[in-house]
A and B are shown apart, each in its own frame.
Chain A
Amino acid sequence: MEKIPASEITPEHLYFTRRQFIAAASAVAAGALLSACGVPSPPPTARPTIAQPSPQASKGVDELGDKLTPFDTITNYNNFYEFSLDKEDVAPRAKDFKTSPWTVQVGGLVNKPRTFGLEDLLKFEQEERIYRLRCVEAWSMVIPWLGFPLSKLLAQVEPQSKAKYVRFETLLDPKQMPGQRDSYFDWPYVEGLRLDEAMHDLTILATGLYGKPLPPQDGAPIRLVVPWKYGFKSIKSIVKIDLVEAMPISFWMESAPNEYGFYANVNPDVSHPRWSQATERRIGEFSRRKTILFNGYADQVAPLYAGMDLRKNF
């Protein structure tokens, strides 16, 4: 195990301040909803990214005290159908994936459409976020991401008042992504969020993990991370972000509409039609553990869904 220099460790008081801030910010975001272009950005508690030669994280645990999943596991067990259907075969197949140059085209119902180069995106202050990732297949990890709130990017393009949803698209490049040559699936991968979900401070665009740039198999060079939703919502290798009026139809909704809804919030009481979601296996652990509502982020995100029937809106 890599020893963490004392200077790298976020002081505990800062850490708690940040969590409390996030709670407050989400309340604001929930209230401000669609006019939320001006949501305040969180204070810069985390240090900027420097690509580290070896995996680095400021702490060994998440806020619930659960251990981080090892770097090697996070980078060798991936659902990324663009490369392979076999989770352990993604890393070898993705290893030559070219992520530079890379651009993300942000447009749709915005006042200032813009194409961001990866360099521009790395100029947003990169902070560490230790999040649980819960896959719909009932396994989970704890991952120290590096990235920045999506809200900061959206603020720059100024969503119009008609914009209600955000639609994301993965790169379409069958030459580099062998899985996309299989026309059984509806490429490219598409995901979507409601605008208030997208503006929520927990929602980030990740560019790295464990202090290193994102490896291709984890969605390089830039991916979404929405920690209270099943992993498939956190779309990888994004090239296009559009603000739209109608709810986007995601890859999974398109493929199996009765099984995958738009929201896909982690919820132990709403079973997938095929399998139960009551428990999960944290990678590396022997026994199953109980799945928690909104993956443990209920304090921050439950207000987004106030009054909604979570069974109907699965």
Chain B
Amino acid sequence: MLHALRTQWLRVVVHIGAWIPFAVIVWDALTNQLGAEPIRETILRTGKTALILLVLSLACTPANTLFGFKSALKVRRALGLYAFFYALAHATMFIGVDYGFDLALLQGALLERPYALVGAAAFLILLPLALTSTKGWMKRLGRRWTMLHRGVYLAALLVIAHFVWLVKLDVREPLTYGAIVLLLLALRIRLIREGVVRLRAL
């Protein structure tokens, strides 16, 4: 009973929490609080939210393997899907709203700019992961599902590159996210993982 309550509690937090940034954007848009450049502001906020949710989804497995926090596994998929939806909103705002699907302009603004290309590459990796995130696909793909979904680390690293590349001067924030992603990646390496588990057992 207590156990069930705990898992449900985390789920509720994740589902409510993930909608908050969206609700705030809508609220700020309706009340004219997105600032002088509302479109850019929306792009920045959805991008940042996508990244944070992606990092949280990456933290779920280590939270279980290292700390025995099982319920984290139950929200991993939801976190990943929310990350994808924010990334979708982010890319749509850029391509559809900011650039109005103007292919001639997008050629220069997206295809010729490394920061945008790596962002797009990250998105193209996240897309099939989102589509195959169901139990059905998990069964159908078996071991290959695991292999495929390790791609999320590549996507995360590409997003970090995207972020580092687009800031004007101060790379401290993107590098902080980069360090977190690298740490989470390191924790999945068996030797390091077992080392940490052993240390905790001491």
Interface residues, chain A, with chain B CB atoms under 8 Å away: 73, 76-77, 85, 87-88, 136-137, 139, 184-185, 252, 255-256, 271, 274-276, 278-279, 281, 283-284, 286-288
- Whether, in the assembled complex, B82 has its beta carbon less than 8 Å from a beta carbon of chain A, the answer is no
| 16 A–B pairs (Cβ distance < 8 Å), ordered by A | A77-B35, A77-B36, A87-B36, A88-B36, A139-B40, A184-B172, A256-B169, A271-B108, A274-B114, A275-B115, A278-B108, A278-B109, A279-B105, A281-B37, A287-B100, A288-B100
- Whether, in the assembled complex, B99 has its beta carbon less than 8 Å from a beta carbon of chain A, the answer is yes
Interface residues, chain B, with chain A CB atoms under 8 Å away: 35-37, 39-40, 98-100, 105, 108-109, 112-115, 165-166, 168-170, 172
Decide if B166 touches A275 in the complex (CB within 8 Å): yes
The one of B39, B40, B105, B169 that contacts A255, using a Cβ cutoff of 8 Å:
B169
Decide if B166 touches A274 in the complex (CB within 8 Å): yes
The closest CB in chain A to the CB of B110 belongs to A276
The one of B105, B168, B170 that contacts A184, using a Cβ cutoff of 8 Å:
B170
B89 to chain A, nearest CB (A): 18
**Residues of B contacting A73 in the complex (Cβ-Cβ under 8 angstroms):** 36
Decide if B108 touches A283 in the complex (CB within 8 Å): no
Decide if A275 touches B172 in the complex (CB within 8 Å): no
Decide if B35 touches A88 in the complex (CB within 8 Å): yes
**Residues of A contacting B115 in the complex (Cβ-Cβ under 8 angstroms):** 274-275
Q: State the CA gap A255–B167 with chains docked (Å).
A: 13
Q: State the CA gap A136–B37 with chains docked (Å).
A: 14
The one of A85, A137, A271, A283 that contacts B112, using a Cβ cutoff of 8 Å:
A271
Given contacts A85-B170, A184-B170, A274-B165, contact A139 B37 (CB under 8 A): yes
Decide if B108 touches A281 in the complex (CB within 8 Å): no
List 12 extra interface pairs beyond A286-B39, A288-B98, CB under 8 A: A73-B36, A76-B36, A77-B36, A77-B37, A87-B35, A88-B36, A271-B108, A274-B113, A275-B113, A275-B115, A281-B37, A283-B36
Given contacts A137-B168, A274-B113, A276-B108, contact A288 B99 (CB under 8 A): yes
The closest CB in chain B to the CB of A273 belongs to B114
Given contacts A137-B168, A256-B169, A287-B100, contact A278 B37 (CB under 8 A): no
Q: State the CA gap A275–B40 with chains docked (Å).
A: 14
Q: State the CA gap A145–B135 with chains docked (Å).
A: 63
Which of A73, A252, A281 is packed against the most chain B CB atoms within 10 Å?
Answer: A281
Given contacts A139-B37, A276-B112, A281-B40, contact A288 B105 (CB under 8 A): yes
The closest CB in chain B to the CB of A78 belongs to B36
Q: State the CA gap A284–B170 with chains docked (Å).
A: 27
Pairs of residues from A and B, 3 with the lowest C-beta to C-beta distance, nearest first = A77-B36, A276-B109, A276-B108
